[in-house]
Structure 1
Amino acid sequence: MKILRILNNNVVIALNDEGEEVVLMGNGLGFQKKPGFEVDVSKVEKTFEMSGQFEKLRIEKLFAEIPEEIIKISYEILSYARKQLQKDLNETTFIAIADHLYTAIQRTKNNIQMKNFLLWDVKRFFPDELEIARQAIQVVNQRMGIQLSDDEAGFLTLHIVNAAIDSTNESAIDLTQMIEEILTVIKYTLKINFIENDIYFQRFITHLRFFSERVLNPSHNKIEEDMVENELFTLVVRKYPEAFEATKKVVDLLKTRWDYNTSRDEQVYITIHIARIIEKMN
């Protein structure tokens, strides 16, 4: 591979064997090098493909403006999140994290505080990711000599959630909004207030997270073959009529807002979760 452009001492853009431009990261990879030099492949630690011209310009601008320490911390955050969550995360998310941290640091230095109006929902729906983000913000504060707020931890959480979602077209904000709308429909249909520290509610939130990810993923946005037998579906409907009434409202919401056809399997799972919550409250 040959070096095309040097972004800093540790990051270069090179031409791979397929004739595609890639971003290479590695300690000293660009030090005392010039365009046209061969890449020292023994120093390459990470390789990132660029999907289009806009992404190329964005990456070049980012590495040109953002201090190397922030870029390094951002990748450490992504690696730490992957280890803690034990999930595959989108490698290029560190770019969005670096961009956000740099902007947040500049705002804080200028005494501009951004209120995160999603923070309450983030605490409810993504507690594990939020804890990771809070740990990351502590590291950033210590190493950069800054004092970023908990609101920034909330923003960072959304980037971490985005990295785990199996779709590059959807975001954590969409996921959060969907879960909130589903809970609102159930709440007003049943005329109840959720006990949010209840184990049954927490289990339902976990189910909704994975379910909502499937809804937001275009490859899953279709009716899948049901595994639940008709008899079981009928039994659940008859046994939990109140819960199923709320499920039907959720089905209507998903069809209207996201053009999603909720399978019989999914309706059974949602109904059972709601029924458990109702029983616990009673």
Structure 2
Amino acid sequence: MKIHKILNNNVIVTLGNKGQERIITGRGIGFKKKEGDLVDQALIEKQFSLINKEIIPRFTELLSEIPLEVITVSEIIINRAKTELNQKLQESIYITLTDHIHFAIERHKQGFNIPNGFLWEIKKLYANEFKIGEFALDVIKQRLNIQLPEDEAGFITFHIINAQLNDTMSNIVAMTKIIREILNIVKYYFKFEYDEESLTYQRFITHLKFFSHRILNDNFTTTHDPALWDMIKQNYQQAYLCTKRIDLHLINQYGHALTEDESLYLTIHIERLRNELQNIAQTA
């Protein structure tokens, strides 16, 4: 395997059998080397073979600018997220998260930490992703000896969600706001407190996450079944009326009226929550 490009002392680029670029990191792997030299296999620490060719130039540029220790930390966090969430993440996270962590560290060294106004919502609405954010702070502390504030765990959580949904960061923030608003409507309509540990609640949060994502991206498909919708309205009347209230809110705040498919699935999730909490109240 020969060196195709040298980005810095710790990062080089090689070419695969089909001409695809492979980015290799390792301490000193590019030191006193030139293009065409053989790669010292013993120095290889990480290899990146990105499928998305559009992000390769930006990623290679980033690797040439950021310390190897930060790159390693970022990859540890990304691998943990893939394992714990059991989801494929967009390759762009290698750029966005690595860049964010590097910038956050530099800001912190200068005594400039940015407060996260959505930290409470992030903890409540994206509990599994936030655990990765907390893990990230631990890894940064252990490997870089830098203790970032808890607000940064929230920002890292946003990057993970962004990589799940392939959306913009501003949309992720807007999604969080929509989810919070819908949860409050349901909560005050039925006058109950959520059991945030219940599977039903977690399923509702997951549904709202993808639901709000579709609202912000105008991405909807219709599989309307009139008979099923009529049955849902008849049998789940209170949940349906709550859904109508959500519909009115979304029209007023976002100019988005629920489709019948959206209303149907929201009503089903709300009914499950209502039943579960009602049963808990009756047995208490």
What's 1:80 paired with?
80
RMSD of aligned residue pairs (Cα, Å) = 3.6
Q: Which amino acid aligns with 1:158?
A: F
Matched residue SS, 1:91: coil
What is the percentage of aligned positions where both structures have the same residue? 35
User: What is the CA–CA distance in structure 2 between the aligned matches of 1:241 and 1:39, rounded to whole Å?
Assistant: 71
Pairwise CA distance, 1:18: 8.5
Which deviates further from its counterpart, 90-99 or 250-259?
250-259
What's 2:222 paired with?
224
What's 2:69 paired with?
69
**Pairwise mapping of residues 153-192 of structure 1 onto structure 2 (< 5 A)?**
153-167=153-167, 171-187=171-187, 190=189, 192=191
1:236 and 1:272 in contact (8 A); partners too: yes
1:29 and 1:40 in contact (8 A); partners too: yes
What's 1:234 paired with?
230
Pairwise CA distance, 1:138: 0.5
Q: Deviations over 1:129-188 (max 9, x none)?
A: 111121121111111111112111111111111111145687532332332233344456
Pairwise CA distance, 1:13: 5.2
Pairwise CA distance, 1:3: 6.0
Q: CA distance change for structure 1 residues 160 and 98 in 2, over 3 Å: closer, same or farther?
A: same
Q: Which amino acid aligns with 2:222?
A: E
Matched residue SS, 1:72: helix
Q: CA distance change for structure 1 residues 169 and 116 in 2, over 3 Å: closer, same or farther?
A: closer
Q: CA distance change for structure 1 residues 264 and 26 in 2, over 3 Å: closer, same or farther?
A: same
Q: CA distance change for structure 1 residues 23 and 258 in 2, over 3 Å: closer, same or farther?
A: farther
User: What is the CA–CA distance in structure 2 between the aligned matches of 1:78 and 1:41, rounded to whole Å?
Assistant: 26
What's 1:102 paired with?
102
User: What is the CA–CA distance in structure 1 between the aligned matches of 2:32 and 2:40, rounded to whole Å?
Assistant: 15
User: What is the CA–CA distance in structure 1 between the aligned matches of 2:201 and 2:58, rounded to whole Å?
Assistant: 45
2:107 and 2:113 in contact (8 A); partners too: yes
1:166 and 1:213 in contact (8 A); partners too: no
What's 1:268 paired with?
264
2:187 and 2:194 in contact (8 A); partners too: no
What's 1:46 paired with?
48
2:222 and 2:261 in contact (8 A); partners too: no
User: What is the CA–CA distance in structure 2 between the aligned matches of 1:256 and 1:11, rounded to whole Å?
Assistant: 52
User: What is the CA–CA distance in structure 1 between the aligned matches of 2:9 and 2:239, rounded to whole Å?
Assistant: 60
User: TM-score normalized by structure 2?
Assistant: 0.77
2:134 and 2:153 in contact (8 A); partners too: yes
Q: CA distance change for structure 1 residues 198 and 99 in 2, over 3 Å: closer, same or farther?
A: closer
What's 2:24 paired with?
25
Which deviates further from its counterpart, 208-217 or 254-263?
254-263
User: What is the CA–CA distance in structure 1 between the aligned matches of 2:37 and 2:67, rounded to whole Å?
Assistant: 25
User: TM-score normalized by structure 1?
Assistant: 0.78
Unaligned runs of 5+ in 1: none
User: What is the CA–CA distance in structure 1 between the aligned matches of 2:267 and 2:106, rounded to whole Å?
Assistant: 47
What's 1:206 paired with?
206
1:81 and 1:129 in contact (8 A); partners too: yes
- Count of residue pairs brought into register by the alignment: 272
What's 1:144 paired with?
144
Q: Which amino acid aligns with 2:86?
A: Q
User: What is the CA–CA distance in structure 1 between the aligned matches of 2:30 and 2:255, rounded to whole Å?
Assistant: 49
2:77 and 2:135 in contact (8 A); partners too: no
Which deviates further from its counterpart, 86-95 or 196-205?
196-205
Q: CA distance change for structure 1 residues 116 and 202 in 2, over 3 Å: closer, same or farther?
A: same
